Amino acid sequence: MKRIFAIIISKVIMKLARFLGHNGTNFCGEAAVKIYPDLLEWFSSQVKKGIILVAGTNGKTSVNNMINAILKEAGYSVVCNELGANLDSGIVSAFIGSSDVLGNINADFACLEIDEAVLPKILKFIKPDFIIFTNIFRDQLDRYCEIEMILNKIKTALKDNSGARLIINADDPSLVEMGESVPNLKYYYGMNESMDTTDNHVGADSKNELIKDSIFCRRCGNRLQYERYYYGQLGYYFCRNCGFKRPVPDFCASIEKTPMHLKVSGRDFFRANIFTGFINSYTAYNTLAAVSCAALLDIPTAVIEKGLLGYKPQIGRMEKFFINKPIVFNLVKNPVGFNETLKAIGQDNREKTIAIGINDYVQDGRDVSWLWDTNFEILLDFDDKIIKYIVFGRRRHDMALRLKYAGIQMNKIKLADSPKLAVHYMVSDRSSVAYIFANYSLLFETRSILKRRSKDVSDYHMPSVS
Amino acid sequence: MFQITICHLYPELLNLYGDTGNITALVKRCQWRNIQANVVKYNVGDHIKFTDIDIFFIGGGADSEQGIASSDMNKIKPYLQQAVEECKALLAICGGYQLLGKFYHTRQGPIEGLGILDLHTESGEKRLVGNIVVKMTAEKPYFLVGFENHTGRTFLHGLKPLGYVVSGYGNNGIDKTEGIRYKNVFGTYLHGPILPKNPVLCDELIRIALKNKYGVEILSELDDSIEEMARRHILKSQHILS
């Protein structure tokens, strides 16, 4: 009875929130769990064929939605938290959204992206078949403390979930060490060749010495050597002292240039060619993770390829608008993602305006020190092509300060009191393209302003970098 | 042209929470005044000439990395001790600050510190996280603003704190003290990073360096209006300014 009550209440909240124009995905889940705490267990036990969790710092939403697209192409019914509400409440909401009032769901699969800090808690209620780990970078440190602590908590939680098979990014030494210390069955994926696509910055990251979270071997503490280095701590690594090294992946990929596509090969003679438009280091990893999972679920290659052809990136991931000029909108949330985004816009030779919105609510991280771990000095390489820097959000002054100390002239920095004003400034100067970046709590408001003012452009997306 | 040398201790290991921004702030505020600032990085096993250094900086890191740093630090202890006694400027944040003390009592047992400062740290239950405002007890009263994030509780054995907590937790969440000031050593829990948002403290470090090296005490004024605005956000959010 309590269960039905919980579901009805949260369904009503969800409808109300949508009616009022909010995306209340976390909120209604919160209400439901308060009334009936075992809701997650109840829902997940009804999933017929399999539960897939996606965890990691960057790429969760993309990987999760790619798997969703593939499974739907294969004709399965899927429960998925598509919009990226990835705290426990968001996951409950995803189930409630597809259940009837009695709490019955009809789902072959559940694919759920989970915040890495919430994963240990979720594993008490959900017994997944697969867990995909994308990467572990520094992110919202006030909430999560250090990476080491998160990894230890995940290790502990996995010990009671030895049935879950892990799909791990072989190029990330932190994840691999975590995987090696738990008894679960593991599959690895990794990039095959040097990922220098059109972006010649992606390869050796010589300029950015700022963030290499785990260049030290997590087994023995010695410095890791890199035979090949991509970004963050990703690459071909080995430890001279204890022999820890990148495992040979079960699935690997290379970026082919003409025409651009991702060539994936893997165990059991698996071969696939994925066409998703532009591919950079980020999309390559995300696609490879999703394809590896689909292959392990025995989805036919043709279905995987077709499913990804129909995949559309989520909102705020290099999304395009047009207001007087082309506008590209992207979510930024941590240094590694922001650095890659900055490098990507450096490839655009047009005169541009850059707007950056930073808030400090709980979902963003209360601590904005990550702006100082982000390498804004990258901007100096093409500062002559940047007409103006507009900063907005609650911590716009901190953002302006960071740009000042990166060496940007103060007379090029403009403070905007609201996202609306930021958009106004951005579209009314003489640049020929504008890039607008915002962190999580500014995402929806900023996007709705852009959407309202934007002339209809085809649903074209650039690949996500965050 | 004046020239100073800043030493960043263990940048590869102790580099959490944007603390590298402190080096950026020191360098930029020198450059803007036409003072040449050189940065020397000291990593595990390196050899540098410690007597050439005018300002030392050490940040915080994750536990395992702090462990690696602390065992190397014992090797360079004589140089650091000499620098401290010669009134060289040293800024130590969070983990780096704890390492300068006598010991850190963790739940696994005590870890020996460098013992340069007469203080000790114990690990607590609750993590002390959030915006913090500290009233600096130096000559001119000044509000230091920052963000703290630590489980360690530091207790000073009669040494002078850097300031008193106006909002937040500080050294231990009990006695209202925050950080330490001993000769020209500044230890603190404030991230943010601390120097860009507290230009008075940043300039104090530069002033000490110039005084030690050239006997000059006057620094030219800079336009700190954006620094002030960033400070005001924190002071307002902590209800210190309306």
ipTM of the complex: 0.95
Q: Tell the CATH topology of A2-309.
A: UDP-N-acetylmuramoyl-L-alanine:D-glutamate ligase (3.40.1190)
Q: How confident is the model at residue A207 (pLDDT cuts 50, 70, 90)?
A: very low
Q: What's the mean per-residue pLDDT of chain A?
A: 84
Chain A, window 36-95: residues with a beta carbon less than 8 angstroms from a chain B beta carbon: none
Give per-residue pLDDT as tens, B183-217.
Answer: 999 999 999 899 999 999 999 999 999 999 999 98
CB contact under 8 A, B13 and A405: no
Residue A165 Cα to chain centre, angstroms: 21
Q: Chain B within 8 Å of A163 (Cβ-Cβ)?
A: no
With 0-12 / 13-18 / 19 or more C-beta atoms within 10 angstroms meaning exposed / middle / buried, residue B242 is exposed
Residue A22: predicted pLDDT: 56
Domain ranges in chain A are 2-309, 319-453
Residue B24: predicted pLDDT: 96
Comparing CB atoms, the residue among B11, B65, B149 nearest residue A367 is B149
Q: Chain B within 8 Å of A400 (Cβ-Cβ)?
A: yes
CB contact under 8 A, A372 and B12: no
Residue A223: predicted pLDDT: 83
Structure-block tokens of residue A79: 């429960």
Pick the more confident residue, A361 or A133: A133
Residue A418: predicted pLDDT: 96
Q: Which of B94, B120, B150, B202 is catalytic?
A: B94
- Cα(A299)–Cα(B118) distance, rounded to whole angstroms? 65
Residue B108: predicted pLDDT: 72
Residue A202: predicted pLDDT: 34
CB contact under 8 A, B65 and A400: no
Residue A203: predicted pLDDT: 36
Which residues on chain B are in Cβ contact (under 8 Å) with A146? 16, 62-63
Residue A192: predicted pLDDT: 86
Walk me through the domains of chain B, giving residue ranges and CATH numbers. 3-237 (3.40.50.880)
Residues counted in chain B: 242
A370/chain B closest Cα distance in angstroms: 6
Q: Chain B within 8 Å of A414 (Cβ-Cβ)?
A: no
Residue A205: predicted pLDDT: 42
Does pLDDT of B136 surpass 60? yes
Residue A466: predicted pLDDT: 43
Pick the more confident residue, A127 or B63: A127
Averaged pLDDT, A31-56: 84
Residues paired with residue A270 on neighbouring β-strands, in sequence order? A266
List the single range of A74-83, A244-253, B96-105, B135-144 with lowest mean pLDDT. Answer: B135-144
**B48 near B78, Cβ under 8 Å?**
no
CB contact under 8 A, A397 and B229: yes
Residue A364: predicted pLDDT: 85
Query: Tokens 């959407």 identify what position?
Result: A451
Q: Chain A within 8 Å of B222 (Cβ-Cβ)?
A: no
Q: Which residues contact A269 (CB under 8 A, 6 or more apart)?
A: none
CB contact under 8 A, A369 and B20: no
- CB hemisphere CA count around B136 (13 angstroms): 19
Does pLDDT of A169 surpass 60? yes
Comparing CB atoms, the residue among A212, A407, A410 nearest residue B226 is A410
- Mutation choice for B interface testing from A224, A372, A396, A415 by most B CBs within 10 A: A372
Pick the more confident residue, A337 or B132: B132
Q: Among residues of chain B, what percentage have pLDDT more than 70?
A: 99
B54/chain A closest Cα distance in angstroms: 21
Task: Judge whether B233 counts as a catalytic residue.
Answer: no
Give per-residue pLDDT as tens, B101-111.
Answer: 998 887 777 78
Closest CA to A103 of A2, A18, A12: A2
Residue A23: predicted pLDDT: 54
Give per-residue pLDDT as tens, B145-171.
Answer: 999 999 899 999 999 999 999 999 999
**What is the layout of strands, in order, in the sheet containing A186-191?**
A78-80, A109-113, A50-55, A130-133, A165-169, A186-191, A251-256, A261-266, A270-274
Residue B10: predicted pLDDT: 92
Chain B, window 42-81: residues with a beta carbon less than 8 angstroms from a chain A beta carbon: 62-65, 67-68
Pick the more confident residue, A126 or A142: A126
Element containing residue B144 per DSSP (H, E)? strand B142-156
Pick the more confident residue, A405 or A454: A405
Q: What is the 3-state secondary structure (H, E, C) of A216-266?
A: ECCCCCCEEEEEEECCCCCEEEEECCCCCECCCCCEEEEEECCCCEEEEEE
Q: How confident is the model at residue A334 (pLDDT cuts 50, 70, 90)?
A: confident
Q: What is the assigned CATH class of domain A319-453? A: alpha beta
Comparing CB atoms, the residue among A141, A215, A395 nearest residue B233 is A395
Task: Judge whether B191 counts as a catalytic residue.
Answer: yes
Give per-residue pLDDT as tens, A81-121.
Answer: 887 777 777 888 888 888 887 888 899 999 999 988 888 98
Pick the more confident residue, A26 or B146: B146
Which of A32-36, A117-121, A330-334, B28-32 shows the highest mean pLDDT?
Answer: B28-32
Which residues on chain B are in Cβ contact (under 8 Å) with A404? 226
